[in-house]
Chain A
């Protein structure tokens, strides 16, 4: 017999919808790091990312009965997180001038550092600040693609848009980052 931790996301959601809190706990433990990382890049603040991630998981649990198992749990979950993050950004009313905090949570090993003259933390700061200067939708598409390895179709499902719109968002977002990096001499 399978352990509960071996169940798929869809199976856990089905159990959770019928009141099994252990299933919901396992789902949260499985997804809290990716969701937090996504929100931290969207919002630029660890504390706000924590707050919105908790709200995301609360909604996941309280709306579990609305989820239709279809193998697209990740899209569904990140759609909740993305919508909450964009609402949060709208409430701030300073969409393009978000100040990113610099709290470091994980430090890469020397081997994993790219071959750049910039120190890792400085590079990280450049990346986060550059992300904060593009539109929230471009940022969302870029983060889902580059940090969560989503396909264009999955990003389209998550953002409720078309694959060609995703391609356009990514193209414009990457161009904006490239110009930002050039202006700040992040790469030669």
Chain B
């Protein structure tokens, strides 16, 4: 008869998982044949295992590789890079300077007109709209030429 001190409840999981040495397998098996408490523990462990195994594996929501590849080889950002922004700013500044120098030549040519109409260079800049500038230009021509 197996003594109660030999209960094998704490080895039952390993027994079910085939993780015990052969002599221990035999000990658990023979003990459970005689001990109602350990036999019940074994039956419950089998039931828990069956319930666990009834749950199927889930599948990924999306393939993983495209995401990982994107992080391994990051696509260059579409943000304007500082060097590019500097180039654009330099080009803009060059354009403004060119415009001012042309304007000053025209201003020299039609200097009297500016004086006549009372528009200063600052006030022309402040108008900002090409239509107004052209109106101003033709108005000065008209004043000067006619």
Contact = CB atoms under 8 A, between A and B. Distances in A.
Interface of A: 21, 24-25, 28-29, 32-34, 36-37, 40, 46-47, 49-50, 53-54, 57-58, 61-62, 105-108, 112-114, 116, 120, 123-124, 126-128, 142, 145-147, 151-152, 167, 170-171, 174, 177-178, 181, 186-187
A21 to B, nearest CB: 7
A147 B57 contact: yes
B49 A146 contact: yes
Contact of B59 (A29, A36, A62, A146): A36
Main secondary structure of the interface of B (DSSP, over half): helix
B13 A54 contact: no
Interface stretch (B28-36, B68-76, B78-86, B109-117): B68-76
Given A29-B63, A108-B54, A187-B51, 7 more contacts: A28-B68, A32-B65, A47-B61, A58-B67, A147-B52, A171-B13, A178-B44
Contact of A21 (B13, B17, B57, B69): B69
Contacts of B50: 114
A32 B58 CA distance: 11
A58 B61 contact: no
Closest 8 A/B residue pairs (Cβ): A37-B57, A105-B58, A36-B60, A114-B54, A32-B64, A127-B55, A40-B58, A50-B61
Nearest to B19: A152
A170 B52 contact: no
A180 to B, nearest CB: 9
A21 B49 CA distance: 40
A53 B19 contact: no
B51 A186 contact: yes
Given A37-B57, A170-B17, A146 B72 contact: no
Contact of B19 (A50, A57, A106, A167): A167
Interface of B: 10, 12-14, 17, 19, 44-45, 47-65, 67-69, 71-72
A50 B65 contact: no
Given A29-B65, A145-B17, A170-B13, A58 B71 contact: yes
Contact of B55 (A28, A124, A152): A124
18 contacts: A25-B65, A29-B63, A32-B64, A33-B57, A33-B60, A53-B60, A54-B68, A58-B68, A105-B58, A124-B54, A127-B52, A128-B55, A147-B55, A151-B19, A174-B13, A174-B48, A177-B52, A178-B45
Contacts of B69: 21, 25
Contacts of B63: 29, 32
A46 B61 contact: yes
A77 B48 CA distance: 28
